[in-house]
Amino acid sequence: MTAPEQIPVSRIEWKGAVRIIRSAFPPIDLFEDIADPADWPLLISAEQKTNPRVMASIGNLDLVPVERRVGGNGASYLMAPFTHVSTDRPSRFTDGTFGVLYVGNAFETALFETIHHHERFMARTAEEAGWTSQFREIVLSVDADLHDLRGPERQGHSALAPDSYQASQGLAKSLKDAGSDGVVYPSIRHPNGECVGLFYPDCASAPVQGRHLDYHWDGERVDLVRDSGSGEVFRVVDVS
C-alpha cells in the first residue's frame, strides 16, 4: 500500500469539468436554499414536524463537516454524493462509508466512465435491448489540492486497476484520514482523459445543468447516445 506522503499533491483548477448523473435524482430543496449551511439542522428539525420523510431526501448530513457544506443554486449536485452513501454502492475510491464526487475533465471522459458502469449494471440485471435511463450532464468547476496519481511513474499503480477497487479503496481511506481533499487520476475508461475523486463538496463549485442524455443498450453494450434536447444520436466507438 502506498503511503499518503509518497503521493505528490497538485493544484487542480478545471473550468468546464463534467459529471454525468441519472436524471431520476431531483434537486434537494434544503441544499438549494439560500440559508447558511450552519443553520440547516434547525431547518431540518422544523421541517420534520410537518414532513417526517424529509431525511430520506436529504440523506445523512452528519457525513459532511459543517464548514465544508455548500448551499445555493445547484448545490444538490455537490452535496448529494456525500449524504447519500451506502456500502451497497462502493466505487473506486470509497467502500461506501463516505462520499466521493467523481468528475471528468471533459464531456467525453465523463461519458465513457458512466457508460462503463451503466453497461455493468445492465449486464448484471440481464436487461433487454433498448433505450434506457436518462442521464443529466452537470458542468462545474474544480479547484483543489489533490493527491496526484497521474504520470508515467504511477502507471500500473494498484489503485488504477481496471477491474478491482480493493487497493484504491484502501488508499482513499488512508488519504482521507490523513486530511486529503481527494485524488486526481487518469481515466480508466477514456484514454488521455483525467478524473478527480473529491472527498468534500466545497472542492467544486458553480454546477450548471447541461444536456439530457439517453443511453441505448444493445443487449451487450451501450452502442448509442442520444441528446434528448436536440434529438441527435451518436454511435459509441470503443476507445479502450
The DSSP secondary structure of 193-224, one letter per residue, reads -EEEEESSGGGEEEEEEEEEEEEEE-SSSEEE
Rounded Cα–Cα distance for residues 63 and 44 (Å)? 15
For the entire predicted model, the pTM comes to 0.90
Between CA 225 and CA 214 the distance in angstroms is 6
Q: What are the boundaries of each domain within the chain? A: 4-25+97-235
What is the H or E stretch that residue 170 is in?
helix 166-177
Q: What is the pLDDT of residues 161-218, one digit of tens each?
A: 999 999 999 999 999 999 999 999 999 999 999 999 999 999 999 999 999 999 999 9
What pLDDT score was predicted for residue 42?
Answer: 61
What DSSP designation does 78 have? H
Give the largest Cα separation in the chain, rounded. 56
Q: Using the predicted structure, report yes or no on whether residue 225 has a pLDDT greater than 80.
A: yes
**pLDDT > 80? residue 84:** yes
3 state SS of 57? helix
- The model's pLDDT over 109-153, given as tens digits with 9 standing for 90+, comes to 999 999 999 999 999 998 899 998 899 999 999 999 999 999 888
| pLDDT reported for residue 81 | 95
Residue 103's pLDDT band (cuts 50, 70, 90): very high
Q: Picking from 1-5, 65-69, 128-132, which range would have the lowest pLDDT averaged per residue?
A: 1-5
Residues 6 or more apart whose CB falls under 8 angstroms from that of 3 comprise: 174
Helix (H) or strand (E) holding 180: none
pLDDT at 1 (0 to 100): 59
Confidence of residue 238 (pLDDT cuts 50, 70, 90): confident
Cα–Cα distance, 146 to 196 (Å, whole number): 8
3-state secondary structure of 25: coil
> pLDDT exceeding 90 applies to what percent of the chain?
72
46: pLDDT strictly greater than 70: no
Confidence of residue 56 (pLDDT cuts 50, 70, 90): low
How confident is the model over 27-41, as pLDDT tens digits?
A: 666 676 766 777 666
What number is the average pLDDT over the span 59-72?
91
pLDDT at 61 over 80: yes
Q: Which of 223, 129, 150, 238 is CA-nearest to residue 192?
A: 150
Helix residue spans in 33-150 (DSSP H) = 40-48, 54-58, 75-83, 107-124
User: Could you tell me what percent of the chain has a pLDDT over 70?
Assistant: 87
Show the cell assigned to 168: 484504491
Task: Give the residue-averaged pLDDT of 60-73.
Answer: 92
Element (H, E) at 185: strand 182-186
Which grid cell is 6?
509518497
When the pLDDT of each residue in the chain is averaged and rounded to a whole number, the result is 89
Q: Is the pLDDT of residue 52 over 60?
A: no
